[in-house]
């Protein structure tokens, strides 16, 4: 048995020679098993969280580096509220960590749920937007992708609000940023 708590339960139910243990030792054995289970669960949770953060950041950074704004983007006519290019890296780094943590929390609480599917959908759309916009220069198609992403983000927030408020709140700055990006994307498409 790999689960220490299950091993203790089996020991207690099996009639094995645990009766020879003094009551204080029985409690100590149970406490040790519970502590071991908590440690294993904690290590598993931390490993899963790290995996979510590393994958989301690594793919996001890789795509960002492959599709960094170049001469084409610099030549576009921009609206007056266009932020400086240096702001995007730090903002996306923080947002990707928030996205990863929300995804991890949702995956651990409700694997296979609608919320997990929404999380995956918004992530795929997120990673698709930069190549479509910066590499293929398809501003209108990028806007369609961004609107789909925003819808998935908002549905995720609504779905998680009652079940995991923390995951929902982690997506709120993301929704605001993507909403702003949508206005910027639309402005760039109209101006160019």
pLDDT band at 41 (very low <50, low <70, confident <90, very high): confident
pLDDT, mean over the chain: 88
Give the model confidence (pLDDT) of 52-105 as tens digits.
999 999 999 999 999 988 999 999 999 999 999 999 999 999 999 999 999 999
Q: Is 145 helix (H, G, I), strand (E, B) or coil?
A: helix
Higher pLDDT, 120 or 32: 120
Q: Global pTM?
A: 0.80
Higher pLDDT, 11 or 155: 155
Query: Helix/strand/coil (H, E, C) string of 27-61?
Result: HHHHHHHHHHHHHHHHHHHHHHHHHHHHHHHHHHH
Burial class (CB within 10 angstroms; exposed 0-12, middle 13-18, buried 19+) of 99:
buried
Higher pLDDT, 43 or 39: 43
> Can you give the residue ranges of every domain in the chain?
36-191
Burial class (CB within 10 angstroms; exposed 0-12, middle 13-18, buried 19+) of 181:
buried
| pLDDT of amino acid 11 | 47
Mean pLDDT in residue range 7-14: 51
Mean pLDDT in residue range 115-137: 97
């Amino acid at each position: 048995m790999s689960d220490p708590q299950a091993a203790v339960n089996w020991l207690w139910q099996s009639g094995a020679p645990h009766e020879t243990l003094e009551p204080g030792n029985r409690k100590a054995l149970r406490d040790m098993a519970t502590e071991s289970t908590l440690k294993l669960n904690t290590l598993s949770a931390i490993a899963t969280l790290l995996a979510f953060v590393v994958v989301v950041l690594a793919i996001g950074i890789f795509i960002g580096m492959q599709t960094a704004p170049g001469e084409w983007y610099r030549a576009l006519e921009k609206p007056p509220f266009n932020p400086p290019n240096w702001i995007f890296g730090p903002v996306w780094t923080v947002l990707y960590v928030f996205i990863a943590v929300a995804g991890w929390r949702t995956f651990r609480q409700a694997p296979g749920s609608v919320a997990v599917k929404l999380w995956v959908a918004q992530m795929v759309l997120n990673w698709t937007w930069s190549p479509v916009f910066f590499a293929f220069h398809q501003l209108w198609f990028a806007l369609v992708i961004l609107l789909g992403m925003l819808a998935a983000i908002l549905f995720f927030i609504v779905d998680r609000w009652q079940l995991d408020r923390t995951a929902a709140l982690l997506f709120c700055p993301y929704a605001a940023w993507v909403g702003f990006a949508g206005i910027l994307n639309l402005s760039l498409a109209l101006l160019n």
